[in-house]
Amino acid sequence: MHEKVKALVINYEKCTGCRLCELVCAVYHHGVSNPAKARIKIEKWEWEGLYIPMSCKQCIDAPCMNVCPVKAIYRDDELGRVLVDENLCIGCRSCVAVCPFGAMGFDPVEKKVFKCDLCDGDPQCVRFCDEKAVDYVEVTREPLLKKRDAAEKIAQAHKRGLELSQMEI
Amino acid sequence: MALSRRIAYIDLSTGKVETRPIPVDIRRKFLGGRGLDAYLLYNHSKKDVDPFSPDNPLIVSAGLLVGTLASATSRTHVMAKSPLTGLLGSCNMGGFFSPELRWAGFDHLVIKGKADKPVYIWIHNGEIEIRDAKNLWGKSVTEAQWAVREELGDPDVKCLVCGPAGEKLVRYANVMTGIKNAGGRTGMGAVMGSKNLKLIATRGTMDIKIAYPREALEYNKKFIEQITTAKVNQTMGILGTPFIWGATNSWGGVRVNNFQYNQLLYADDVEPERFHEISNETFGKYHMAGCFGCQVHCRARYRIPDGPYKGCYDEGPEYTTQGAFASEVGCTSALTVLTGNYLCNQYGVDWLELGSLVAWAMELYEKGILTIKDTGGIDLRFGNDEAVIEMIKHICERDTWLGDVLAEGGLKAAEIIGKDSIKYLVHVKGMQNLHSDERATPALALNIATASRGSDHLRSRPAIDLYHLPESVLRKIYSSPIPYDGPLSSDFRAYEGKAWQVFWQEQCFMAVDCLGICKYHTTFLGATLPNFEDWAKVIYYNTGLEFTPEDLWTIAERCNNMERLFNLREGLTPDDPYKGDVLVDRYHDEPAKRGAPDVIGAYIDREKFLKMREEFYRYHGWDEKTGVPKEETLKRLGIDNEPSHLL
């Protein structure tokens, strides 16, 4: 893995809950509209307006890879992703059971597991998400972006504090 | 395949369920969604059917492109005979219900009969069950949905639900899905209530095969860019529809104090920016939400900032909520708008109708036709925020005399109240006008007068008429796909060419409703948005069906004529003050008092209006006087032998 490797970065606050990512993912990989076949899913707490996109984290020490009895799951360091070799997969679903994020899917027709492959470096979920609630950025930049976001809140509070202190009462 | 979705006939009296495929030749005639609903309604109902009788079929559908890659393919359509107007009942909503219905295997549900006790319908992967809804009856719109998810053990179940207002047969009760997506107008929720049907729950994991996946993806990308680069949609994505109210109020296009003024003064607290601020403060910077597959995201999330409902989560408001709970009733408080929004969403009631009726009752109270005795002690004067909120509850619960009367809708209420009350009612075909005032805009006036479901802005409104677009731009839009070389005018006060614009928009909105796409994604508020040409392509990439833009135009004509046939069968005649294609006298007799210089003094000229209506009928191929489709029109469209009972 090298420092230019990119990863899916999810900023759930930006998610509008439209589920276009689910749709384009299923169409890109299976040629069908069916969220059950998407590698990304928006989990919703509708009664408080909370939407959280969930997808594979491409773990370094990936539980799915470790548990696979036939070594069908492997790392591709070039794109920083974990892949399934469908020809080797025996459909035991151990990886589904062990994944802490529910990111491994199972296709009952093909009888194979499936997971996010980052669309070979052009993730369609990112391409179609105008809000960039799902983004594709270099792994080293992710914390920098988070820092900036958090700092912005502090900066705003600071500005507001100044405004208040200058107010004539 | 998108074309493999079936139609289900569900009889709630007998519990019998039958499903059938939808033949491709029917698709080629009616596409799906609203158009096919109109065919089904005409074929599955008898003349003069009582809207609350078991024989009134409730038809629920997904458009042809719902769930596919055509941007915002989220729309659910519901049709039945309306308990409000006695004519066509029809509503359309966004959200996530109809894509789920398609993943569960169905495009159209024809629900007949009446259950002997409260039930709900559970539709999952090709199977349909009628289940007991004892525990759901009486629950609010959201409580009922969360309860059924709990019962079925799946948080992804999507519901179409009627709220307490529908159970109480309020004649303008909504069907709802999610927090606030509402199929409003014409009381389809009351039809659900009359059938003892609380809710339809659905969940599906069945493939909808996309005919040309790569092409569909690429075209969708371009399609979305076309939609999201339109300035109007960018504004909508920040401020939601409230921005429309703000813009309209600024030039004097909203009804105030029922119909006495046309601009709300001292309105700072109900301007779009104020609601934006409240959402920012109570929810956060990223507070806009979208319906299925939509990148416009016009739905704001917020919590009520104060008052008895402080902290309650809700979505909206829409520009019609500002109309209903600010301008029409003469109130200027954001809190009243947000509280009204929340209560109506929970009761499942159409606030356009409700707000307009409360405003009418207020004018009656002002004029002494209603007294404090009639209102049950409520001081029903304009601008009384508390009275407005109280009236929402009394109407939805029908627990006071006036609440019960207003729940019957304007025409029935006017009959009960008597005196001169009808004179002040602002309606078309017995459906209240939304909050807008069309006196300065003949095109918009013709639109509400002739819309197939009663006074309505979503059937044929040429909203871009307000932008003073150059004639060349108008010509580019309105002479495709069918050539038109008649007059077109950039002046919104003109009468020339407006009939064609209204006709064209009616065609456009019918097509988009057949496809199940949101109207913000077509020529409605933006002049550069997709229509017939683009739809021919998205239909092909997603379903493999080949149509020319002209074919789609003809289909829209056919579907519009089906709706016309239904309305005529149920008693529409052009000049009937209660069921006709007419405006109330106030549009003609009372000039506008406020607003921009070219709005002050405006009224709709009777003669010019009638001429415009004749022209509109002519474009439709209807008799200019009777408004009845000519034999040759029906023959050309292949609907000269209805009912033909093909489905």
Residue of chain B whose Cα is closest to the Cα of A132: B295
Name the CA radius of gyration of chain A, rounded.
19
Model ipTM? 0.95
Contacts of A17 in chain B (CB under 8 A): 289-290
| Interatomic CA distance for residues B72 and B620, integer angstroms | 29
| Interatomic CA distance for residues B461 and B467, integer angstroms | 13
In chain B, the domains with their CATH numbers are: 2-203 (3.60.9.10), 231-432 (1.10.569.10), 442-637 (1.10.599.10)
Sole residue written with tokens 């019609």: B320
**Does B221 sit within 8 Å of A23, measured CB to CB?**
no
**Does A51 sit within 8 Å of B205, measured CB to CB?**
no
pLDDT band at A1 (very low <50, low <70, confident <90, very high): low
Helix (H), strand (E) at residue B11: strand B6-11
Contacts of A47 in chain B (CB under 8 A): 142, 146, 179, 313
CA distance B181 to chain A (A): 12
> What's at B485, amino acid-wise?
D
**Does B293 sit within 8 Å of A23, measured CB to CB?**
yes
What burial letters (b/e) apply to A80-118, b meaning 16+ CB within 10 Å?
A: bbbbbeeeebeeeebbbeebeeebbbeeeeeebbbbbbb
Pick the closest to residue B361 from B402, B308, B305 (CA basis): B402
CA distance A1 to chain B (A): 31
The angle formed by the CA atoms of residues B301, B275 and B187, to the nearest 5 degrees, is: 65
pLDDT at position A142 is 87
Sheet strands side by side (includes B17-21): B17-21, B6-11, B106-112, B58-62, B76-81, B88-93
**Does A24 sit within 8 Å of B220, measured CB to CB?**
yes
> And the tokens for B99?
């894509």
Contacts of B146 in chain A (CB under 8 A): 47
**Does A24 sit within 8 Å of B103, measured CB to CB?**
no
Question: At B517, is the secondary structure helix, strand, or coil?
Answer: coil
> And the tokens for B112?
């007949």
| Interatomic CA distance for residues B502 and B438, integer angstroms | 14
Helix (H), strand (E) at residue B8: strand B6-11
Mutual orientation of helices B385-397 and B351-366 as an angle, nearest 10°?
A: 120
**Per-10-residue mean pLDDT for chain B, 647 residues long?**
89 98 96 98 98 98 96 96 98 98 98 98 98 98 98 97 98 98 97 98 97 97 94 95 95 96 97 97 96 96 97 96 98 98 98 98 98 97 98 98 98 97 97 95 98 96 93 95 96 96 98 97 93 96 97 98 98 97 97 95 98 98 98 98 94
| Interatomic CA distance for residues B264 and B250, integer angstroms | 9
pLDDT band at A166 (very low <50, low <70, confident <90, very high): confident
Contacts of A18 in chain B (CB under 8 A): 289-295, 297
pLDDT band at A153 (very low <50, low <70, confident <90, very high): confident
- For the entire predicted model, the pTM comes to 0.96
Q: What is the DSSP letter of B519?
A: G
Sole residue written with tokens 């309604």: B41
Query: Could you tell me if B377 and B331 are in contact, meaning their C-beta atoms sit under 8 angstroms apart?
Result: no
- In chain A, beta strands by DSSP E: 6-10, 32-33, 41-45, 50-54, 73-76, 81-84, 105-107, 112-114, 134-138
**Does B228 sit within 8 Å of A49, measured CB to CB?**
no
> And the tokens for A40?
């990304």
pLDDT at position A4 is 83
Pick the closest to residue B302 from B353, B347, B271, B337 (CA basis): B337
Query: Could you tell me if B427 and B584 are in contact, meaning their C-beta atoms sit under 8 angstroms apart?
Result: yes
Contacts of B220 in chain A (CB under 8 A): 24, 128
Query: Could you tell me if B173 and B160 are in contact, meaning their C-beta atoms sit under 8 angstroms apart?
Result: no
| Interatomic CA distance for residues A49 and B420, integer angstroms | 46
> And the tokens for A160?
């507001």
Mutual orientation of helices B334-347 and B385-397 as an angle, nearest 10°?
A: 0
Strand pairing category for B427-428 and B6-11: unpaired
| Interatomic CA distance for residues B550 and B32, integer angstroms | 17
Contacts of B293 in chain A (CB under 8 A): 18-20, 23
Phi, psi of B411 (to 5 degrees): -65, -45
- Interface probe for A, chosen from B102, B313, B342, B542 (most Cβ of A below 10 Å), is B313
List of long-range contacts for B341-344, beta carbons under 8 Å, 24+ apart: B341/B180, B341/B314, B341/B316, B341/B317, B342/B304, B342/B309, B342/B312, B342/B314, B343/B309, B343/B389, B343/B392, B343/B393, B343/B396, B344/B392
**CB-side exposure of B248: number of CA atoms within 13 Å?**
29
pLDDT at position A145 is 85
pLDDT at position B362 is 98
| Interatomic CA distance for residues B137 and B199, integer angstroms | 9
Pick the closest to residue B256 from B625, B612, B594 (CA basis): B594
- Once rounded to an integer, what is the mean pLDDT over residues A27-32? 97
**Does B293 sit within 8 Å of A17, measured CB to CB?**
no
Question: At B589, is the secondary structure helix, strand, or coil?
Answer: helix
CA distance A116 to chain B (A): 18
**Does B207 sit within 8 Å of A48, measured CB to CB?**
no
**Does B67 sit within 8 Å of A33, measured CB to CB?**
yes
Helix (H), strand (E) at residue B394: helix B385-397
Strand pairing category for B288-289 and B299-303: antiparallel
**Does A18 sit within 8 Å of B69, measured CB to CB?**
no
Chain A residues bordering chain B (beta-carbon distance below 8 Å): 13-20, 23-24, 27-28, 30-37, 44, 46-49, 51, 124, 127-128, 130-131
Closest partner CB to B286 (pick from A14, A28, A33) = A14
Mutual orientation of helices B498-515 and B471-478 as an angle, nearest 10°?
A: 50
Phi, psi of B624 (to 5 degrees): -65, -25
Query: Could you tell me if B72 and B517 are in contact, meaning their C-beta atoms sit under 8 angstroms apart?
Result: yes
Window 300-329 of B: residues touching A by CB (8 A cutoff) are 301, 313, 315
Closest partner CB to B313 (pick from A32, A36, A49) = A49
- Interface probe for A, chosen from B207, B223, B236 (most Cβ of A below 10 Å), is B207
Count of pairs with CB atoms under 8 A, one residue in A, one in B: 96
Window 408-437 of B: residues touching A by CB (8 A cutoff) are none
**CB-side exposure of A12: number of CA atoms within 13 Å?**
13
